[in-house]
Structure 1
Amino acid sequence: MSEQTSYAIPDIAVTPAIKRKGRVAALGAAPGEAIGAERRAVLELTHEGIPGDRHAGFLRPADVRVPWFKRGEAIQNERQVSIVSMEELSVIAANLGVERVAPEWLGANLAVEGLPDFSFIPRGTRLFFPSGAVLAVTDQNAPCRIAGAEVERNLPDAEGLALRFAAAAKRLRGVVAYVDRPGPISAGEEFAARVPEQWVWRG
């Protein structure tokens, strides 16, 4: 009989899983190469993402966000859906000194409200919608000059927005997700967010 070895559970604080409610404030799809999205009343989600959206597909080309892969190499697409928070968009607008920043200017597919510090919800969080559709959050979205240029295009009277956007939107740009279960999502409906247990690995 092999000798059993004991293992001490590390002294790491674990935050229990939690559930929260949110609401879909707006929906959009970006059918072209431009970053801007078109408002939609309903989005039909498939396992490939949003049909016709520029980020749809099972695979995507590697880019600057994943420097450990060769640029352009086909990798798993965990960025099918872009989600922003209306509360955080208001903070971005205040940081820029403008009245508002619309979710479609950033190419967002979903704009949600009711979830505080939305950009910090952890990887593995799942959003459950009334139809049975489920989105799985994979990462925080980083702001860039391309999105800033679209904001500036929509607010031509405000100067320098493209250059100022990245700093104004840092850690406020929302998250990206993939479709875990397909189905329709409608503007105005409530959804449930299930956040997994959280901990910090000290290495």
Structure 2
Amino acid sequence: MPQAAGNQVVLLACPRCTKLCKGARGLGAHKTWCDRKEALRVQQFQGHGVNGARHRRPPHAIPTLADWEWAATEVDLEEELLPGFGTRQIRIPQAARGDLARALLLPLKKIVADHTDEGAWAILLLFPTLVLGALVRGGKAGLRNLKERCRRFESGDWEGLLDDHHEAEDLLAERFEEGEHGAAQLAGEPTAEEAQARRIRRCLRLGRA
């Protein structure tokens, strides 16, 4: 059984996904979330409930205890709050402000009830990451995209929103790296004038020889 060197924290592996969790309490919380995730996966595979659509929850769904436990035990805020490649929405459309306010009240109410609720604090701090990322472009598509994120946020689909954020960040990182690589290649390739000058200098050297 793996152990941390300094404080002797015991790490226990989840029997389903082999994720290492801190102690029996952490493993218990993770197993609740992991079992729920597996049940949803089976439903999707069998065509029940979400009809195979990823991250979709029933209308008017609310966060479950497992959702809050996931936020409290599975989210690495130190990593998630690092600056990324994506942008955040600064100007919020008037038509979406009510949706945003209602979504924000979800973690705020839990914090007012219990200011030590780590899951509620994690979700509040992740709100810009989960909801205010770059939107779909084109007409009212961005507004619909933002309102749909608010609906998913209120339903507790935070893991799905975080997965979407990671995918968007990975895509932007790949494009950035491709752009950097292309710029480096272009910097190393001579222009037509430079190539002609090199040929002339080479001919002159051969003539002198």
Shorter-chain TM-score range: under 0.3
More strand by share: 1
The TM-score normalised by the length of structure 1 is 0.22
Question: Which structure is richer in relative contact order (CA contacts within 8 A, separation 6 or more)?
Answer: 1
